Amino acid sequence: MGYRVAVVGATGNVGREMFNILEEVKFPVEKMHAIASRKSIGVEVSFGNQILRCEDLEQFDFSKVDIVLMSAGGSISKAWGEKIGAAGPIVIDNSSHFRMDPDVPLVVPEVNPDAVDHLPKNIIANPNCSTAQLVVVLSALHKEAKIRRVVVSTYQSVSGAGKEGMDELWDQTKGVFVLGAPPPKKFTKQIAFNVIPHIDVFMDDGFTKEEWKMTVETHKILDPAIKLVATCVRVPVMVGHSESVNIEFETALDEDDVREILRDTDGVVVVDKREDGGYMTPKESAGEFPVYVSRIRNDPTVEHGVALWCVADNLRKGAALNAVQIAQLLHEKGLIKQKLPA
């Protein structure tokens, strides 16, 4: 028994990880389709030991699949998401397009699994990478002592900006001491040997859209009462987003409580030895499933507060893995309607 599955955006960073993870977790797949825009038709991608040739998004008959994982950018999701959902399959969309739509649940399976029970548009949204890893940690702590306020600074890898972001870091790093770094194209300033305090567009209040997303998505997934302020920064790391997080609780919760709660939390691994190297870095999170938490310590500047460091593979927990976990959740709940064999 398996499902007919389509991955839209099959040639992108996240699309390729979706194939890898569907295979790694042995998601029950009867038939897999790789879907892409016209320029990628015929491009080959791998799924386990199969080589799939990309099929044309415009021509594909979505009524013949049971579930669609989509990561092709906001404009493709805007143009196609609702049409695909109306054709029958459940769509799990990784773009920002549907995230704040009241008829589309925004889901992190460890946090709000029951949100998938009601799907007016047959669409589920996957959160932004920087939000996904954060809410897994916050949710576990919020159950024990209500969170009043969070201050988070991110250190986001270039893969969050797609293949062009990775190529730009690679080319500038190679070129900088030889021919001079090639000028920035994807980023606004040189990313090699630098950090850039700007991700996504600026908003009227001075925050960037990435920072705004962290606040509103945390409210939708977890609790609108949590005050959250973010500063999002691009760093010269290929894969793995890191976050420095200060959390203030309404009632007492100290560093030992936090360490114990997070050790028992699904999807979280605590690596927190107070010695050289006794913490995780983004490099070590790349290719892994969990959200790693390190550097847990009391924040002496507030009555009940802790500071911590968390890292995760942004292409996995921040995108493809979360989408596949949603698919697994739908499967466990018996919510994926199978088409009759073609």
The binding site for substrate consists of: 156, 234
Active site (annotated) includes residue 129:
yes
Answer yes or no whether residue 122 interacts with ligand 2RA by CB under 6 A: no
Catalytic residue among 54, 129, 232, 310: 129
Active site (annotated) includes residue 232:
no
Q: Site map for ligand 2RA, 132-171, x if CB under 6 A?
A: ------------------------x---xx----------
- 262 Cβ neighbours under 8 A, 6+ residues apart: 137, 140, 141, 268, 270, 293, 296
Answer yes or no whether residue 52 interacts with ligand 2RA by CB under 6 A: no
Give the residue numbers of the binding site: 11-14, 39-40, 99, 156, 159-160, 234, 314
Cα separation, 337 vs 329, whole angstroms: 13
Instruction: Give the shortest CB-128-to-ligand 2RA separation in angstroms.
Output: 5
Q: Which is nearer to ligand 2RA, 194 or 298 (CB)?
A: 194
For the chain, the distance separating the N- and C-terminal CA atoms, rounded to the nearest angstrom, is 14
Instruction: Give the shortest CB-148-to-ligand 2RA separation in angstroms.
Output: 26
Q: How does 121-160 read in b/e, with b if 16+ C-beta sit within 10 Å? A: bbbbbbbbbbbbbbbbbbbbbbeebebbebbbebbbbbbb
Answer yes or no whether residue 217 interacts with ligand 2RA by CB under 6 A: no
CA 225 to the chain's CA centroid: 23
- Which part of the chain contacts ligand 2RA (CB under 6 A), choosing from 52-60, 124-132, 166-174, 328-336? 124-132
Among 129, 192, 237, 312, binds ligand 2RA (CB under 6 A): 129
Residue closest to 15 by CA, chosen among 44, 42, 58: 44
- Which part of the chain contacts ligand 2RA (CB under 6 A), choosing from 126-134, 221-229, 246-254, 292-300? 126-134
Q: What ranges make up the beta strands (E) of the chain?
A: 3-8, 29-36, 44-47, 50-53, 55-56, 67-70, 90-93, 123-125, 147-156, 227-234, 241-249, 268-270, 291-298, 305-312
**For binding to ligand 2RA (CB under 6 A), which residues are involved?**
128-130, 156, 160-161, 199, 210
Which of the residues are catalytic? 129, 241
